[in-house]
Amino acid sequence: MERRKFIQHAGLAGILATGIAPAVRAESPAIRWRLASSFPKTLDTIYGAAETFSAKVKEMSGGKFEISVHPGGELMPPFGVVDGVQQGTVECAHTAPYYFFGKDETFAMDCAIPFGLNSRQMTAWCYDGNGFSLFREFYKNYNIVNFPMGNTGAQMGGWYRNDIKTLEDIKGLKMRIGGFGGKVLERIGGVPQNIPGGEIYQALEKGTIDATEWVGPYDDQKLGFQKVVKNYMYPAWWEGGPQLVLYVNSKAFDGLSAENKAIIQAASSYAHVEMQAKYDARNP
């Protein structure tokens, strides 16, 4: 645009407004979003990925794009985040897709299925293989734009009130188990429960459940399961490398500039690597 035309079009007021824009922006960010996590704030690994993501977006945008992070239950129930993003109640969410296999079993594929991919295979499928574009297509049904954002690596088999020695011990076992693995547990006589991370301890203490799995020693200790039950088993055949995902409301995403779209992608990527690094360092 030529300078003369620009002046004609904008007028002096417009030029002044542009001129002082940086000073105004420094005080109030141009874009404010909310992120609903499915996880409790106590877990710096899994909840922390959303905080890392948010911090990187803020840094890269020079403070012009701020995303506040809210733990499970603060804005909506931990398992309400797909509905929340779909309806636009929040602009984005961070969750483990397999929680939603009741809506559609495809969700589980974007996280972990029994005897499925390990974390490097998941990342390879999503960054270089066909996985990512398949999920983009699937999530359109939910007004969601997805980004891989974290992986716990291989998990432990969980905490059991009583020792498990034979298949008989599974009969009637009420176990909190993540995702599609519950379907397999059911087939061999167990009673799977889909309970958010922040509510497991209480359920185990009350006796609502007989067993639970979460992630591995670093997180499990923070959630305090060892105070209630004593049998810790390995491995979790139901999740070789569960992937966490950032869900963004598609209308909110489409409204972003190309720069901010790229910033969302790279910030989620940074959080993706960092979460796995934390697990690998702390659950060696």
136 touches a copy of itself (CB under 8 A): no
Contact 242, 101 (CB under 8 A): no
Exactly one of 28, 103, 124, 171 binds a copy of itself (CB under 8 A); that residue is 124
Mapped onto helix, strand or coil, the DSSP state of residue 159 is strand
Our CB check for a copy of itself shows the closer of 59 and 74 to be 59
Q: Least distance in Å: CB of 163 to a copy of itself?
A: 32
Task: Give the Cα separation of 68 and 51 in Å (integer).
Answer: 8
30 touches a copy of itself (CB under 8 A): no
Contact 111, 242 (CB under 8 A): yes
Contact 149, 92 (CB under 8 A): no
11 touches a copy of itself (CB under 8 A): no
Exactly one of 8, 128, 163, 187 binds a copy of itself (CB under 8 A); that residue is 128
Task: Give the Cα separation of 214 and 206 in Å (integer).
Answer: 18
Our CB check for a copy of itself shows the closer of 129 and 255 to be 129
H or E element in which residue 80 lies:
none
59 touches a copy of itself (CB under 8 A): yes
266 touches a copy of itself (CB under 8 A): yes
Size of the site for a copy of itself (CB under 8 A): 48
Tell which residue, 162, 183, 137, 138, has the closest CA to residue 228: 162
Span interacting with a copy of itself, options 28-36, 77-85, 248-256, 258-266, rule CB under 8 A: 258-266
257 touches a copy of itself (CB under 8 A): yes
CA angle 209, 211, 215 (to 5 degrees): 120
DSSP readout, 270-283?
A: HHHHHHHHHHHHH-
Tell which residue, 33, 61, 31, 37, has the closest CA to residue 51: 37
15 touches a copy of itself (CB under 8 A): yes
18 touches a copy of itself (CB under 8 A): yes
273 touches a copy of itself (CB under 8 A): yes
Span interacting with a copy of itself, options 89-97, 168-176, 224-232, 271-279, rule CB under 8 A: 271-279
Cβ–Cβ contacts within 10 Å for residue 204, how many? 23
Q: Least distance in Å: CB of 129 to a copy of itself?
A: 5
Exactly one of 89, 121, 194, 208 binds a copy of itself (CB under 8 A); that residue is 121
28 touches a copy of itself (CB under 8 A): no
Any alpha helices (H) in the chain, and if so which ranges?
3-27, 48-60, 81-87, 106-109, 119-127, 131-139, 181-187, 200-206, 217-223, 250-254, 258-282
254 touches a copy of itself (CB under 8 A): no
Residues in touch with a copy of itself (CB under 8 A) = 1, 3, 6-7, 10, 14-16, 18-20, 23, 56, 59-62, 119-121, 123-129, 153, 257-259, 261-263, 265-267, 269-270, 272-274, 276-278, 280-282
